[in-house]
Amino acid sequence: MPIAVATWNINSVRLRLQLVLDYLQRARPDVLCLQETKCLDDQFPRSAFKEIGYAHQAIRGDKGYNGVAILSRLPLGEPSCLPFGRKGDARHIASEVRSEAGVAVTVHNFYVPAGGDIADPELNVKFAHKLGFLKDMREWSAQQAGIGGLAVITGDLNIAPYESDVWSHKQLLDVVSHTPVETEALEDIRCCGDWTDAVRHRIPEPERVYTWWSYRAVDWRASNRGRRLDHIWVSSPLAGSIGEVTIETAARGLERPSDHVPVLLSLTL
């Protein structure tokens, strides 16, 4: 029984509601994890998603910034939120998704802090916050390895971990999202929890893979200076279930787009 899980940093769900609705009707994932929804819980456009079949929703909003949500065509369990980063901002939500065959998978939706522009925690409190968030993730991930079970990590992890995840490894080594302290921390989180990077499982290095292109680019497609910031990982028992991965690059060229594009993984449970 297949189940399709997608992730998308939408950079304001109300501003880009129609883009999300169009994507859901076009791609038909069973589950869509959104990040940077940028609205409080009572402002989230629940009814619009319910009308097209995504009646099961787990929402954790924030005023102005951050915010994560899980939209599902399949039943969701009671959502949970963990205090990564210790600031109380809405950057994690999890819920159990039950397939039509009755198989339960826990989906974790993360929005890791971007970290600002200066890769020095002494000079940049945003970067210090990011490193603290990653430290909390590492402790949690190690615990998950002992628990086992069927689980998926999705979200904007705001780190491009491998050389082929950025347009220029050499030029971005000192740029936040690809510095060694970040890439090593993310790989440690993945390895200590025995997670499989589903995108790189299907599209191995050295093939370049990007999910984000800066708004600052005059012509993002021509320059193609992208980074792979959006990820889907699966727990060890699901590694053999990884199916097709679809990165919808064309979404970056839509009218008033997010700077991120959707990433979709099909799992055969």
pTM higher than 0.85: yes
Asked if residues 72 and 94 have their Cβ atoms less than 8 Å apart, the reply is no
Residues of the chain with pLDDT under 70: none
**pLDDT (tens digit, 9 = 90+) per residue, 130-142?**
999 999 999 999 9
Distance between CA atoms of residues 46 and 55, nearest Å: 8
Q: Which is nearest to 57 in space by CA: 41, 67, 69?
A: 69
- Residue 255 confidence (pLDDT): 96
Longest dimension (CA), the chain: 52
- Residue 148 confidence (pLDDT): 78
**pLDDT (tens digit, 9 = 90+) per residue, 90-118?**
999 999 999 888 899 999 999 999 999 99
- Residue 199 confidence (pLDDT): 98
Cα dihedral 11→15→20→21 (10° resolution): 170
Q: Which is nearest to 66 in space by CA: 104, 24, 34, 25?
A: 34
- Residue 2 confidence (pLDDT): 87
Domains and CATH numbers, the chain: 2-268 (3.60.10.10)
